[in-house]
């Protein structure tokens, strides 16, 4: 069996983090999301993997190479036009050749029991293959699948009205003979009455085609949640779940021999500290937590539980981090950070930040992020012109290579586009487009101020 990972999409709903790299390369708890998918596939015994690439696909190729260091062989398939997931599979027909094949999105996270359950089911069913399904509380945000009494998939409906329902996870295994049917799916997915359907040759459209042909797919209920990384705040909210799961496996102290931990530092619970890292006096690390190589946790700093700090980074002195900080980042004196920060971030002193911050973000001294709405309602984010509730998220979405001046204040749920700037002293109430600067305009008055004022 071969595996095919779909990673060619532009990630338009993932703005402001889709301009400079492929969406699937965005870190989830300090590791590219698609790398976690590759690891799960290898873990279940499939080592011949194809990755369908498109937008910013070179970043995927640069990271994985031939796949050898990830325990697999990787072939890259170009999908220059994102015409749908079924189209992506047919683009890879040469790679698939005569084998059965697993298809998985590159922007999902799932536990280690999902693929073994799917493979086991595939070996014991007839028809065209299997699909992982799960019950969801918001079926109107998913593709609903209709299943008959024998567990066979009958049809799929794009984002129908309703609340709970059985939804597709987009993780399939197909018998090789189904490949011909995937080339003949319609180019519009079926939608409920009164709802405009999306265009594209999607794998879900094959459910009806295969059922009508008498070779249906079989639904395999997922043994644990499959989480889609679709919106820009989800690397943070899903990252919390990933860190919690990983924390279960970190049951002891793993401190490299070359690391230096001051005897006056406090470490509570299991932690992992990498090569040549330094933990200074009065630092407090709550385990489970992960510190990379050549990273410096300065005096008086606090690393909260389930946090991960990358390599070659500096935290402190007297800084506090709760979340995920990538490689080559600096959060200096009295910096307080909660959320996700990609590689190369620079946070100067006396700030309070919350949210998701892209590559090379630069934050001026005294910048503050709002974390609570005045009406105590949930944080909302504007995505493609629609207001979306960002469940479990607090803070801002700060694009790659954006920056702030000193004393900026950003309201929660705001998007700062890639390469944009929030000027000194600005109270940001609205989103900032990519490569635009928001500057504070003020009126000043110059008056006489002679020495006699002080001559009393």
* pLDDT tens, residue by residue, 146-184: 999 999 999 999 989 988 999 999 999 999 999 999 998
How would you classify the pairing of strands 101-105 and 165-174? antiparallel
Q: Rounded to a whole number, what is the distance in angstroms from the first to the last CA of the chain?
A: 92
117 band by pLDDT with thresholds 50, 70 and 90: very high
Look at residue 77 in the predicted model and tell me its pLDDT: 98
Which domains are assigned to the chain? 2-228 (3.90.550.10), 234-438 (2.160.10.10)
Q: What is the pLDDT of residue 390?
A: 94
CA-closest candidate to residue 178, choices 135, 125, 117, 134: 125
CB 114, CB 39: distance < 8 Å: no
Reported as a pLDDT band with limits 50, 70 and 90, residue 194 is confident
Instruction: Please give the model's pTM, rounded to 2 decimal places.
Output: 0.94
How sure is the predictor about 188, in pLDDT bands with cuts at 50, 70 and 90?
A: confident
pLDDT digits (tens, 9 = 90+) for 291-340: 999 999 999 999 999 999 999 999 999 999 999 999 999 999 999 999 99
- Residue whose entry in the numeric block shows the structure tokens 């007297």: 318
3-state DSSP assignment of residue 149: coil
CA dihedral 385→386→388→393, nearest 10 degrees, is 10
């Amino acid at each position: 069996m071969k595996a095919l990972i779909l990673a060619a999409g532009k990630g338009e709903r993932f703005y402001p983090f889709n301009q400079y790299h492929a969406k699937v390369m965005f870190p989830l708890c300090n590791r590219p999301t698609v790398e976690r998918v590759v690891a799960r596939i290898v873990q279940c015994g499939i080592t011949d993997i194809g990755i369908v690439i498109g937008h910013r696909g070179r970043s995927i190729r640069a990271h994985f190479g031939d796949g050898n260091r990830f325990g697999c062989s990787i072939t890259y398939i170009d999908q220059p036009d994102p015409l749908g997931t079924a189209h992506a599979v047919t683009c890879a027909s040469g790679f698939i050749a005569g084998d059965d094949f697993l298809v998985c999105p590159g922007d999902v996270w799932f536990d280690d029991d999902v693929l073994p359950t799917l493979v086991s089911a595939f070996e014991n069913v007839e028809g065209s293959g299997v699909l992982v399904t799960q019950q969801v509380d918001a079926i109107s945000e998913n593709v609903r699948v209709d299943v008959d009494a024998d567990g066979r998939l009958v049809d799929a409906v794009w984002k129908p009205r309703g609340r709970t329902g059985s939804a597709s996870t987009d993780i399939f295994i197909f018998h090789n003979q189904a490949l011909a049917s995937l080339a003949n799916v319609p180019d519009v997915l079926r939608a409920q009455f009164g709802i405009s359907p999306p265009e594209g040759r999607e794998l879900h459209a094959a459910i009806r085609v295969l059922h009508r042909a008498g070779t249906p797919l079989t639904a395999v209920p997922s043994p644990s949640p499959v989480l889609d990384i679709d919106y820009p705040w989800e690397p943070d909210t899903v990252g919390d779940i990933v860190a919690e799961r990983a924390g279960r496996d970190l049951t002891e102290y793993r401190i490299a021999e070359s690391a230096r931990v001051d005897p006056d530092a406090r470490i509570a619970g299991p932690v992992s500290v990498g090569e040549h890292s330094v933990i200074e006096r009065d630092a407090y690390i709550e385990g489970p937590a992960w510190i990379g190589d050549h990273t410096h946790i300065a005096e008086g700093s606090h690393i909260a539980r389930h946090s991960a700090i990358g390599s070659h980074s500096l935290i402190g002195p007297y800084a506090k981090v709760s979340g995920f900080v990538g490689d080559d980042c600096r959060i200096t004196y009295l910096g307080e950070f909660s959320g996700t920060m990609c590689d190369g971030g620079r946070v100067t002193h006396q700030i309070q930040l919350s949210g998701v911050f892209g590559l090379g973000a630069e934050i001026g001294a005294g910048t503050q992020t709002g974390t609570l709405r005045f009406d105590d309602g949930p944080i909302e984010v504007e995505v493609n012109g629609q207001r979306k509730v960002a469940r479990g998220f607090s803070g801002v979405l700060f694009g790659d290579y954006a920056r702030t001046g000193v004393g900026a204040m950003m309201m929660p749920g705001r998007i700062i586009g890639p390469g944009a700037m929030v000027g000194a002293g600005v109270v940001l109430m609205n989103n900032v487009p990519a490569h635009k600067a928001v500057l504070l305009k003020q009126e000043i008055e110059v008056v006489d101020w002679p020495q006699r004022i002080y001559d009393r």
